[in-house]
Amino acid sequence: MSTPHPAPAALLFDLDGTLVDTAPDLARATNALRAHHGLPALPYPVIRAQVSNGGSALVELALGLARDTPGHAEARHFLLAAYGDDVAAESRVFAPLAPLLDAWETRGAAWGIVTNKPRAYAAPLVEALTLAPGALLCADDLPVKKPDPAPLLEAARRLGVTPSSCWYLGDHLRDIQAARAAGMPAVAVGWGYMEDGEDFRGWPADLWFETGEELVAALLTEGG
C-alpha cells in the first residue's frame, strides 16, 4: 500500500486508543466509581467511546457531574486512584502494532509517544508493557498539551529528527490539529476511541488508516 508521503524517519504515537488499548482498565476504574456511589456498571462500549476525552469526561459519564461542579474533583480523584492501582491489568499494545514496533526498532528507526495522559499513569503503563520509546512526552511535562504542537516538537527534538520527517498518529481530532500545527504529517487512525457517528476520515489529516494492519503494510513496505 503506497502513500503520497515519503517514509517517515520517526514515528510518534498518541498513547490511549492509538498505540495501547487502555479502555479495559479505564472502564474498570469508571465502574468502580459508579459502584462507590451505588450505581450499576455502565456497558463497556459506552465507556470506551469516552476514554480519549480524559478522566473528567469519564466522571461526567459515570455520575453526570460536569467539570467545576461540586463533587467532580473528588470523584475524579477516586477514579484516577482506582485506575492507578493497576494501569496495565488488561491494557495491551494493539496487536498489529507490536510487530511494527519490533521491526521499527530492528531497523534502528526512532519512535516516541506524545500523550495527554499524566506522567504518573503513562510512565508506569509504558514500563509495564516493556515499551522503550525514544521520547515520552506527557500532559504535565510542558506548560501546554495537545492540541498545542509544543509536545510534538519537543519529542521530535529528543528523537533528533525534523518535524516534517516524523509521522504523528492519533485517534482524536486534537491529535491531528497538533500534528498539523507542528508541521508533521498527521495520521488519523480508525481503531481508537471515538463516539458513535464520529468519522475519523472527516478530520483534516494527511493520511487515514482504518486498521492497524493497513498502517503496518504501508510503513513496512515504504520503509524498504
Reported confidence tier of residue 4, pLDDT bands at 50, 70, 90: low
pLDDT of residue 200: 97
Condensed to tens digits (0 to 9), the pLDDT of residues 14-47 reads 999 999 999 999 999 999 999 999 999 999 999 9
Condensed to tens digits (0 to 9), the pLDDT of residues 32-87 reads 999 999 999 999 999 999 998 899 999 999 999 999 999 999 999 999 999 999 99
Catalytic residue selected from 14, 21, 141, 175: 14
**pTM score:** 0.94
pLDDT of residue 106: 95
pLDDT of residue 6: 80
Paired strand residues for 111: 11
Q: Rounded CA gap, 165 and 6, in Å?
A: 8
DSSP state of 108: T
pLDDT value at 2 more than 60: no
Nearest alpha-carbon partner for 198 in 53, 64, 62, 101: 53
- Segment 114-125 mean pLDDT: 97
Strand runs (DSSP E) across the chain, as ranges? 10-13, 20-21, 92-93, 110-114, 135-137, 166-170, 186-189, 207-209
Q: Compute the Cα dihedral for 53, 9, 144, 120 and give only its sign.
A: positive
- Segment 92-109 mean pLDDT: 95
Reported confidence tier of residue 178, pLDDT bands at 50, 70, 90: very high
Question: Catalytic site residue 175?
Answer: no
Question: Catalytic site residue 16?
Answer: yes
pLDDT of residue 197: 87
More confident residue, 223 or 116: 116
Reported confidence tier of residue 224, pLDDT bands at 50, 70, 90: very low
Condensed to tens digits (0 to 9), the pLDDT of residues 131-160 reads 999 999 999 999 999 999 999 999 999 999
pLDDT value at 1 more than 60: no
Paired strand residues for 187: 169, 207
Q: Which three cell numbers stand for residue 172?
A: 482524536
Catalytic residue selected from 16, 21, 171, 175: 16
What average pLDDT does the chain have? Answer: 95
